[in-house]
Copies of this chain bind each other. A is one copy, B any other.
Amino acid sequence: YELSLGLVGSEMCIRDREISSAAAANAVMLAAGYFNPLTGYMNKDDALRVSREMLTMDNLFWPVPIVNLTTDANALDYTHGEEIALKDPNIEGNPVIAIQRVDNVEKLSDEDINIIVTNVFGTNDDNHPGVKTFKEQGRYIISGSIEVLNYSYFPSDFPDTFATAPQIREMLTKAGWSKTVAFQTRNPMHRAHEELCKMALDRLEADGVLIHMTLGKLKEGDIPGDVRDSAIRKMVEIYFPENTAIISGFGFDMMYAGPREALLHAVFRQNAGCTHLIVGRDHALSLIHISEPTRPRLISYAVFCLK
């Protein structure tokens, strides 16, 4: 009774590829609903138009390219519609994190890369941490939709903090909040941050603040995730009135793209059900200066309404 089932056989395989940490972080954000309505990685035209005009070719507002780049020219060999297995660079053994249906593979020229980085990061200087990370990923851009298997190391490393966008919307519903201010942080919060959140709550007559931490890769010198987490939880415990702060986090590497990243932060907080976002005086290194020490040009925070 051992009939053949057709296309079986261990001699077949699908091609795989270890992707960059940035591409893996994009996959996690896509899977966690933060990057709705995107369904995968952008192609060259999308990446260029997003960089220049903050619009995809379908006229969707999007502030930064969401891409899968590689240094490997062999990627040009993929065929349209082929499924490839994307392997997670951040977990030992590099398990598959997603399956990508390849739409196209294109090569970015020096000019393309210049357009992207100068628009997104405000500079083409390789000393800028965002520019450096972007360029190191390579110039072959593999576009196409992805289906994601897991949230990488985030749920195991941050079991009490990592949450998807729908999970956060559920927390907000359970808390009974209809007006929520998101506060972005990659570091412990100091006294001024605490006051900033409370002022936003007060002036907007908001129900609460979502303290929403970057759980992904940080730059050298940033405070480790577990220290930041404990510090923030202690601050909320001692200094915030009951049911006015929810602490959570998302799995994404910092891009250090300044104002563009602030807009991305706004987009994905909107996907998580927040109504407002506090944008810092130097949000995601808006004020980075390459040739001189980083210093603020303007000391101010703004709260933007996500409508």
Cβ contacts under 8 Å, A95 to chain B = 83, 99, 101
In the assembled complex, the Cα of A139 lies from the Cα of B147 at a distance in Å of: 31
Would A149 and B99 be within 8 Å (CB), given that A2-B138, A18-B5, A126-B1 are in contact? yes
Knowing A126-B1, A149-B147 touch, does A10 contact B72 (C-beta < 8 A)? yes
Minimal beta-carbon separation of A1 from chain B (angstroms): 5
Inter-chain CA distance A148–B150, complex, in Å, is 9
Is A4 engaged at the interface, CB distance under 8 Å to the other chain? yes
A16 contacts the other chain (Cβ, under 8 Å)?
A: yes
Q: Are A74 and B16 in contact (CB under 8 A)?
A: no
Q: Are B13 and A13 in contact (CB under 8 A)?
A: yes
Residues of B within 8 A of A150 (CB): 147
Given A13-B14, A74-B11, are A5 and B101 also a contact pair (CB < 8 Å)? no
Contact of B74 with A14 in the complex, beta carbons under 8 Å: no
A20 within 8 A of B: yes
Cα–Cα, bound, A137→B5 (Å):
8
In the complex formed, the residue of B with least CB distance to A148 is: B149
Is A298 in contact with chain B by the CB < 8 A criterion? Answer: no
Chain B residues within 8 Å of A257, by CB: none
Contact A7 B147 (CB under 8 A): no
Q: CA–CA, A134 to B63, complex, Å?
A: 52
The residues in A between 114 and 145 inclusive whose CB is less than 8 angstroms from any CB of B are: 126, 135-139
Instruction: Bin the interface of chain A by size.
Output: 35 or more
* Contacts A10-B15, A10-B17, A99-B149; A3 near B71 (Cβ below 8 A): yes
**Nearest-neighbor residue (CB-CB) of A21 within chain B:** B5
Complex alpha-carbon distance, A81 and B11, angstroms: 18
Contacts known (A10-B72, A149-B149); A2 close to B77, Cβ less than 8 A: no
Give the distance in Å from the alpha carbon of A18 to the alpha carbon of B150 in the complex: 22
Q: Chain B residues near A138 (CB, 8 Å)?
A: 2, 5
Least CB distance from A112 to B in Å reads 14
The answer to the question of A211 belonging to the interface, with a C-beta cut-off of 8 Å to chain B, is no
CA distance A5 to B138 in the complex (A): 9
> A1 contacts which chain B residues (CB < 8 A)?
126, 135-136
Decide: B78 and A10 in contact? CB cutoff 8 A. yes
- B-contacting residues of A (Cβ < 8 Å)? 1-18, 20, 70-72, 74-75, 77-78, 81, 83, 85, 87, 89, 93-96, 99, 101, 126, 135-139, 147-150
Known: A83-B95, A95-B101. 20 other contacts (CB 8 A): A1-B136, A2-B71, A2-B139, A4-B71, A5-B72, A5-B137, A6-B18, A7-B87, A8-B18, A8-B70, A8-B74, A10-B78, A11-B74, A12-B15, A12-B17, A14-B16, A14-B85, A81-B93, A96-B99, A147-B150
